[in-house]
Chain A
Amino acid sequence: ILNVEQSPQSLHVQEGDSTNFTCSFPSSNFYALHWYRWETAKSPEALFVMTLNGDEKKKGRISATLNTKEGYSYLYIKGSQPEDSATYLCAFETSGSRLTFGEGTQLTVNP
């Protein structure tokens, strides 16, 4: 069983704060690292799929970095807004397009 760990499990921040979470994964047999945002009552939606060591991706105020050698990825949110409140899932992709998900970080942004 592959171990994908996310921290923290939950996070409460004030509107305007910047925040970041961590996803750690096995450093062997790596194909890709995915980040998803799961808002309440909606389906999880993909934020990023990263494949190369050192990759950095950005979408608006959200960005992510990838270190495949040491097996971690960071997700950053700059100037958090209440609409950023969601569970953020990372998933490690290995051979055969198989995804192993972490348990998620639940972010609450207070106005």
Chain B
Amino acid sequence: GAGVSQSPRYKVAKRGRDVALRCDSISGHVTLYWYRQTLGQGSEVLTYSQSDAQRDKSGRPSGRFSAERPERSVSTLKIQRTEQGDSAVYLCASSSFSHTEAFFGQGTRLTVV
């Protein structure tokens, strides 16, 4: 693919439900991040993983957030028992080597009601 793509673009979830967000990163990229930006709380890295599939090195570990990487260029961010504070834009980004830029997807806007 030409870039990083995320799906869905928009997601509305009822509080307490689990959600899964998908990221298709750039083939050959080693490092993958999930990152979110929340109004009023700023930005934070949720998880980051390197080339080993299935290994998730969490940026700021939280019991409700986990990422799976069943293939090197595919990642799924899972949020369990969503809370209203999880309403945010969730961005996926990948990069190839150190000292090179990260490429971002267009984001998924999650609204928890």
Measuring CB to CB, which residues of chain A are less than 8 angstroms from any residue of chain B?
Answer: 1, 31-32, 34, 36, 42-46, 49, 51, 89, 91, 93, 96-104
Please name all residues of chain B whose beta carbon is closer than 8 Å to the beta carbon of A98 when the two chains form the complex: 31, 48, 57, 59
Say yes or no: A99-B33 contact (C-beta < 8 A), given A1-B60, A43-B91: yes
Chain B, 79-95, contact with A by CB distance < 8 Å: what is the 0/1 string?
A: 00000000000010101
Please name all residues of chain A whose beta carbon is closer than 8 Å to the beta carbon of B101 when the two chains form the complex: 34, 36, 46, 49
B74 within 8 A of A: no
Please name all residues of chain B whose beta carbon is closer than 8 Å to the beta carbon of A46 when the two chains form the complex: 101-103
Bound CA–CA A32/B95 (angstroms):
13
Q: How many residues of B contact A (CB 8 A)?
A: 30
Say yes or no: A89-B43 contact (C-beta < 8 A), given A43-B4, A44-B91, A97-B30: yes
Contact yes or no, B43 A93, CB < 8 A: no
B45 within 8 A of A: yes
Chain B, 8-39, contact with A by CB distance < 8 Å: what is the 0/1 string?
A: 00000000000000000000001101010100
Contact yes or no, A96 B50, CB < 8 A: yes
Say yes or no: A93-B99 contact (C-beta < 8 A), given A102-B43, A103-B43, A104-B42: yes
CB distance from A95 to the nearest CB of B (A): 8
Bound CA–CA A31/B107 (angstroms):
27
Contact yes or no, B42 A34, CB < 8 A: no
| Chain B residue with Cβ nearest A102 | B43
